[in-house]
Chain A
Amino acid sequence: MIDDYILRDIFLDAAAEEYADELASTEQIATSLRFQNQIDKLLKKSRKWGERNKKPLWQRCIQGVAVFLLVCSLTLGTIMVASPTVRAAVVAWFIEWYDTHIIYRFSGKPDAEIVPEYEIRELPSGYVAPGEVQELIDGRAVTYRNSVGDTIYFEYVHVESGSALMIKTEEVESTKVEVNGHAGYLYLSKDLGESNAVVWYDEQEKIQFMIDGFVDQEDLLKMAGSVSLCKLTEK
């Protein structure tokens, strides 16, 4: 409707007037390392992903309201409604279910500060190790490539309060899995243009792992199962 375009412009003019100072500001805003890291990854990786015009399934972000709490612990059982005492003692892994995506959100105070180094020991044929390592403020990301430019993205982060991972679930089938005794989820895309992913959480180390790539379920689970400490950092 033409009326709607006129109203659009009126609202745009109103916003431009109201926020003229902010829009004209040249002040450099100090932001958190977390935010900078997210933006840096966005700007660096956007070209690489864009070159192949394919879509990874995951996204790091922070979002809204927890729907329910899932605390993953083999010793405590698969699902536990946490008491305030227990909640204070562990890092809680919230899963928020929305129509189009799932968000893993973390809350609590982890004890350890140093993230050990991990690697995928059983990569699919053609992928080269070691991968390219990128240090994150709370973990590491490793990108493995094959000769035609396909990538497998392996990320592990020491979870802290407020950090989150979002998985798109439109056209995605999710299945509960277990990776080396840790609870997780497998996400398989029905769209061939989107990657598959597996996410799991090591409640003892308080590290969330994710592997994302254009590989099938079998390869994903094999890789996940082979994730181990790098030889130099093994205890």
Chain B
Amino acid sequence: MLIFLSMLETDIERQQFLELYKRYGNAMLLVARKFFGQDYGLAEDAVQNAWTRVVENFSKIQAVPCKKRGAYLVIIVRNEAISMIRKRRKEIPLNEAIVGEEFDIEDSSQPILEIIHKMPELYRAVLEMRFVEECNTREIAKKLNLTESTVNTRIHRGRILLMKKLEEEGYAV
């Protein structure tokens, strides 16, 4: 992480980073622990990795409204945890590698936030990595141990279906 902090060019950026750390560091640990049970070491690793990503993407975080930055950090650490879990698996089931977890939201009458809450973790991770973290397909595929084709399919379908849902709920799109 020392490498990346020096990439924060100004004292203001470094101060902003430190403030983020003080404010949300504990929350990130709590979120990471949800994924690793009693293995607090792995949770700490996920948080460490997440802070590295924070610095790498600091300009994107600065573009997020202040009140939403906590959620942004939570998403980063959660997806780091999912990525670590995926990479620790020795084999990825064939179906999952090619098809992935399918999730049909077309018939759902629930509000869009509820739909997102109920999405399978991996499905949601793909969409969050694209729309929130702005990762490209290759990065997402590598982090989640998926094929690029699977990632692209999910993003394409996810975008269409969620936008349709947003229109139904009266969001201006």
Majority secondary structure, A binding face: helix
Which residues of the other chain, B, contact A228 by a CB distance below 8 angstroms?
none
Q: How many A-B residue pairs have CB under 8 A?
A: 149
Which residues of the other chain, B, contact A18 by a CB distance below 8 angstroms?
117
Q: Decide: B163 and A7 in contact? CB cutoff 8 A.
A: yes
Among the 9-residue stretches A49-57, A86-94, A215-223, the one with 4 or more Cβ atoms under 8 Å from chain B is A49-57
Q: Decide: A10 and B40 in contact? CB cutoff 8 A.
A: no
Which residues of the other chain, B, contact A25 by a CB distance below 8 angstroms?
26-27, 30
In the complex, A10 Cα to B116 Cα: how many Å? Answer: 9
Q: Is the CB of B64 closer than 8 A to any CB of chain A?
A: yes
Q: Decide: B29 and A31 in contact? CB cutoff 8 A.
A: yes
Most buried by B among A10, A52, A57: A10
Q: Decide: A8 and B117 in contact? CB cutoff 8 A.
A: no
Chain A proximity of B24: nearest CB distance (Å): 7
Task: Assess A59 versus B3: contact at CB under 8 Å? Given A7-B163, A19-B27, A25-B26.
Answer: yes
In the complex, A168 Cα to B7 Cα: how many Å? Answer: 14
Q: Decide: A57 and B132 in contact? CB cutoff 8 A.
A: no
Q: Is the CB of A134 closer than 8 A to any CB of chain B?
A: no
Category for how many chain B residues contact A? 35 or more
Smallest CB-CB separation from A162: which chain B residue?
A: B41
Q: Decide: A42 and B116 in contact? CB cutoff 8 A.
A: no
Which residues of the other chain, A, contact B132 by a CB distance below 8 angstroms?
8, 11-12
Which residues of the other chain, B, contact A32 by a CB distance below 8 angstroms?
40-41, 44
Most buried by B among A12, A13, A31, A42: A12
What's the tally of chain A residues with a CB closer than 8 Å to chain B?
Answer: 52
Q: Is the CB of A83 closer than 8 A to any CB of chain B?
A: no
Which residues of the other chain, B, contact A15 by a CB distance below 8 angstroms?
71-72, 74-75, 78, 128
Q: Decide: A19 and B31 in contact? CB cutoff 8 A.
A: yes
Which residues of the other chain, B, contact A62 by a CB distance below 8 angstroms?
41, 44-45, 48
Which residues of the other chain, B, contact A58 by a CB distance below 8 angstroms?
2-3
Chain B proximity of A16: nearest CB distance (Å): 4
In the complex, A38 Cα to B11 Cα: how many Å? Answer: 21
Q: Is the CB of B151 closer than 8 A to any CB of chain A?
A: no
Chain B proximity of A217: nearest CB distance (Å): 20
Q: What mask results when residues 1 to 33 of chain B are scored 1 for a CB within 8 Å of chain A, else 0?
A: 111111111010010001001001011011100
Residues of B in contact with A (beta carbons under 8 Å apart): 1-9, 11, 14, 18, 21, 24, 26-27, 29-31, 40-41, 44-45, 47-49, 51-52, 64, 68, 70-72, 74-75, 78, 84, 87-88, 112-113, 116-117, 124, 127-128, 130-132, 159, 162-163, 166, 171, 173
Residues of A in contact with B (beta carbons under 8 Å apart): 2-4, 6-19, 22-23, 25-29, 31-32, 34-35, 38, 41-43, 45-47, 49-50, 52-59, 61-65, 162, 168
